[in-house]
Amino acid sequence: MKLTFRSKVFLTLLFNSLVVVIGMLLIAGFYAARNFERYVVKVEERKVNGLLELLSREYELAGDWAPLRESVGQWLLILGMRPGRPHEETGGAEESARNGAGVSETEGGRRARPRYVLFDRNRHALSPTDSVSADGYDLKAVRAGGKVVGWLGVHERPRPSQPLDVEFLRHQASTFRAVGGVAVVVAIVVTWALSRHLLAPVQELVKGTRALMSRRFETRVEVGSDDEFGRLASDFNEMARTLERYERMRRQWLADIAHELRTPLAVLRGEIEAMLDGVRDVNREALESLHGEVLHLSRIVHDLHDLSLIESGRFQAELKPVDPLGVLDETLKAFRTRFDQRGMEIRAPDFAREAPVHVRADPDRLRQLFSNILENTLRYGEAPGWIEIGVETDPGRVVIHLEDSGPGVPEECLDRLFDRLYRVDRARSRAQGGSGLGLAICRSIVESVGGRIGAARGTSGGLRITVEFPRL
């Protein structure tokens, strides 16, 4: 039989409660009996002291033990602690004596030892009821005139045996059992309520998890406390918000890919159908147009493939110490002709004079990173214009700034500039031939080596991209 987590928690709490209740009852019963026995012992000590005082007084009055040896009633009066009263008025004393004080009782058909026995100074029994040996008795000295004149023998009893004492202990045991039964019932009720209360957040999390499994990413659970369950609920809600955000991005991603592929495919289809219908001649100009659309499709597919490989960690990269400033200098030299043709100036320090710095990266990926940024400037920067390169280094990092002369990017678009297929102006971007994946690839490359990349408005109103690498 498989128990649910709720049942396990309930049984665990109930077991602990029962152990505590039973332990408390056993301890309380043990100490109650022990303290009662101590109380009986103290009462017994007071009674023995009283008997010793009475026996000493009787000896001083009579001068010897003859009255006690000859009179049972006198012995009973002393045991009842009522000296000087007629024997007819000593019903309580006689009953006390016969209940184990001085008169022999029977136990299981045999005679039991008397509770109290008086011995002379030579330890010979003087009680008129019995003649017993002093062995097995705790002897208390009876003194008169400063001398030992006799001994009071007290037979020790291991446990309270008087009827009232036994009845009291039996009543106490019944009370403890009743209290224990009530405590067990209360423990069951409280444990059930407590387990239900404690596991209520778990039930909410279970329902929320099942909702997420059904792709209802808008699901949230209520955070009702600041304990571990409350933090778990907060983490669950954060996870749900992340999944909801990624779901929106996934849908937007699919829509953007469909849109990006639809346009060149529609152009290809239109031009091919026009050629088939004889509307357009099959000449070099028509073929170059078709070739341009195919290249655009190939660029989108190639960038998507690179992006997926980088983000999945399956991209074949050779990580080794490399100088990013040297790679940037080589990339700038490769782009300088195209910048000159567009009438755009490259403002960069003389990297040959810069002290070499090293980061752990793939040189080809770094070259792709800088190429994408420079390509972005060539496509969307206004001519005449410029791009300015700045470098900051410290013992722990290398920071490279690339700022162009504009046009800038609206403030609300800066955070999404590195998203896949995101374009500030879709129509203008498509006319420039971009795939919308260049900067997304840049972010993936930088983050794959533990760096960071960000965008901000430049001091001249253009776009400022900052790339930061951890330095070796």
Task: Categorize the per-residue pLDDT at 465 as very low, low, confident or very high, splitting at 50, 70 and 90.
Answer: very high
- The per-residue pLDDT of the chain, averaged, comes to 79
Predicted pLDDT of residue 327: 92
Least reliable range by pLDDT among 53-62, 145-154, 294-303 = 294-303
pLDDT for residue 99 is more than 60: no
Average pLDDT over residues 77-91: 49
Q: What confidence tier does 62 reach under pLDDT thresholds 50, 70, 90? A: confident
State the sign of the Cα–Cα–Cα–Cα dihedral 261, 264, 269, 272: negative
- What's the mean pLDDT in 434-449? 82
How far apart (Å, rounded) are the C-alpha atoms in residues 71 and 86?
Answer: 13
> What pLDDT is stored for residue 345 in this prediction?
92
Give the pLDDT of residue 157.
63
**If you average pLDDT over residues 257-273, what whole number do you get?**
81
| Higher per-residue confidence, 105 vs 216 | 216
**Burial of 167 from C-beta contacts in 10 A (0-12 / 13-18 / 19+):** exposed
d(CA 151, CA 170): 35
**189, two tokens:** 């009720």
**What's the rounded Cα separation, in Å, for the pair 227 and 238?**
17
In this predicted structure, the answer to whether residue 83 has a pLDDT above a threshold of 50 is no
Over 90: is that where the pLDDT of 38 sits? no
Q: How confident is the model at residue 315 (pLDDT cuts 50, 70, 90)?
A: low
Phi first, then psi, for residue 149 (nearest 5°) are -110, -10
SS (H, E, C) the chain: CCCCHHHHHHHHHHHHHHHHHHHHHHHHHHHHHHHHHHHHHHHHHHHHHHHHHHHHHHHHHHCCCHHHHHCHHHHHHHHCCCCCCCHHHCHHHHHHHHHHHCCCCEECCEECCCCEEEEECCCCECCCCCCCCCCCCEEEEEEECCEEEEEEEECCCCCCCCHHHHHHHHHHHHHHHHHHHHHHHHHHHHHHHHHHHHHHHHHHHHHHHHHHHCCCCCCCCCCCCCCHHHHHHHHHHHHHHHHHHHHHHHHHHHHHHHHHHHHHHHHHHHHHHHHHCCCCCCCHHHHHHHHHHHHHHHHHHHHHHHHHHHHHCCCCCCCEEECHHHHHHHHHHHHHHHHHHHCEEEECCCCCCCCCCCEEECHHHHHHHHHHHHHHHHHHCCCCEEEEEEEEEECCEEEEEEEECCCCCCHHHHHHCCCCCCCCCHHHHHHHCCCCCHHHHHHHHHHHCCCEEEEEECCCCCEEEEEEEECC
pLDDT of 288-299, one tens digit each?
Answer: 888 888 887 887
pLDDT, mean of residues 340-346: 91
pLDDT at 174: 85
| pLDDT tens sequence across 177-209 | 888 888 888 888 888 888 777 778 788 888 888
Which two structure tokens, joined as six digits, stand for 47? 């009674």
Distances, alpha carbon 88 to alpha carbons 50, 70, 97, in Å:
22, 18, 15
Distance CA 213, CA 243 (A): 11
Backbone angle region of 340, left / alpha / beta, with phi > 0 → left and psi within -120 to 50 → alpha: alpha
For tokens 């190429």, the residue is: 371
Contact 104, 111 (CB under 8 A): yes
Question: Of 123-132, 205-214, 263-272, which range is least confident?
Answer: 123-132
Q: Which two tokens stand for residue 93?
A: 């004393």
- Cα 439 to Cα 445: distance, rounded to the nearest angstrom: 10
Query: So what's the pLDDT on residue 84?
Result: 43
CA distance 385 to 212: 51
Report pLDDT for 158: 53
Least trusted range by pLDDT, from 211-220, 300-309, 372-381, 455-464? 300-309
Name the residue type at position 157. Answer: R
Q: Residues of the chain with pLDDT > 70: what percent?
A: 84
Handedness of CA 71, 75, 80, 82 (dihedral sign): positive
Give 198's contacts (C-beta < 8 A, 6+ positions apart): 9
User: What is the C-alpha to C-alpha distance for residues 459 and 267, in angstroms, rounded to an integer?
Assistant: 40
Banded pLDDT at 215 (limits 50, 70, 90): confident
Inter-CA distances, 231 with 204, 211, 225, 238, 241, Å: 14, 19, 8, 10, 15
Higher-pLDDT residue of 282 and 431 is: 282
According to the per-residue pLDDT averaged within each range, which of 33-42, 115-124, 415-424, 458-467 is highest?
A: 458-467
The CA-based dihedral angle spanning residues 202, 204, 208, 213, taken in that order and rounded to the nearest 10 degrees: 50
